[in-house]
Amino acid sequence: MSQASYSFAGGDCFVIEQYNDRAPFASFLPGIAGVAGRPAWVFYVNRGQAVASFGVRNKDGAFLEFYPADKAYQLTASRGFRTFLRITDSSGTVSHEPFQRGAGDAVRQRLYVTPHEVGVEEIHPGLRLGIRADVFTLPEAPLAGLVRRVQLDNTSSRAIRVEVVDGLPQVLPYGLNQWVVKFMSRTVEAYMQVEGLEEGVPFYRLKVWPTDAPQVETVEGGNFFAGFLDGRRTPVVVDAERIFGLAADFSRPERFFSGDALDFDGQVAGNQTPCAFQAPTLALQPGESRIFHGLYGHAPSRQALEAFVRQAEEEG
């Protein structure tokens, strides 16, 4: 294997070229969140978009379901972060999913690892488009969270319009544990609900704790997601069927790639395992770059989450 496949950039940044085709490895980002912060754990591998799972406290606090390394190597490319693009210019529209294997020898895929973040980059000469996605834990904040930064670069001589669907095809509402997830995943869907969809900040939790006891206890805390473009919240999707259609294995976003406009109305927000996608649309002039962000994490209550999001928007 060529030594050029592995290198350092800037001293503390380790780079792996064509990482999807290299020997698999796994690691964790540090769970440090700053002086007054709330730590979150992030497990990553060199497949897909790197992040295999993340959450708070332990495996029972996962927002993205935890798998050991051997399963993570198999599933991260389909169950981890996904990005779907519909790119339109004067010649027509093409669809593309970056960061997958089999993109072709001309497509360059890199993995970046630093002491505090992990990122992936794809440069596609055929599409004349570059995309980079970096993630890091949220420091010095009252909530535990994972920040995702996605940048698209138009390297062509034409103006393009890019419809983006970016996020996670399946996430776990707060209140689950590993045993329930592994052995009662279908049954526990009856407990699942998503609130805050109209406000653009989905709040994922169980209606009540799934315990075999006569007392019914509601779940106050929840996991959350929000997307931002130019400081404004982006449209969100929590119903995976709106994107994948009948492709229940998440192999292909059949409905989105069919060319139909995304339907945000009447999404199923309960009694099924939800997803966490944002759907910004970007207009890119020749040589222009645009950035959007995603925020994923856990809050002790919906009120605490709303206060945090308001403060984040005020501070930009």
Q: Where is 307: in which H helix or E strand?
A: helix 302-315
Torsion of CA 306, 309, 311, 314, to 10 degrees: -130
244-290 pLDDT per residue, tens? 999 999 999 999 999 888 999 999 999 999 999 999 999 999 999 99
Confidence of residue 1 (pLDDT cuts 50, 70, 90): very low
pTM above 0.85, yes or no: yes
Cβ-based neighbour number of residue 87 at 10 Å: 23
* Distance in angstroms (rounded) separating the CA atoms of residues 56 and 40: 5
With contact defined as beta carbons under 8 Å apart, do 24 and 14 qualify? no
Of 84, 3, 5, 82, the closest CA to residue 47 belongs to: 82
pLDDT of residue 60: 92
Token output for 249: 């294995």
Annotated domain spans of the chain: 3-235+272-315
Mean pLDDT confidence for 19-42: 89
With contact defined as beta carbons under 8 Å apart, do 294 and 278 qualify? yes
Residue 5 has pLDDT above 60, yes or no: yes
With contact defined as beta carbons under 8 Å apart, do 65 and 59 qualify? no
Confidence of residue 173 (pLDDT cuts 50, 70, 90): very high
148-169 pLDDT per residue, tens? 999 999 999 999 999 999 999 9
Residue 227 or residue 217, greater confidence: 227
Residue 44 has pLDDT above 60, yes or no: yes
- In words, the CATH class of domain 3-235+272-315 is mainly beta
pLDDT of residue 316: 64
* Distance in angstroms (rounded) separating the CA atoms of residues 120 and 230: 22
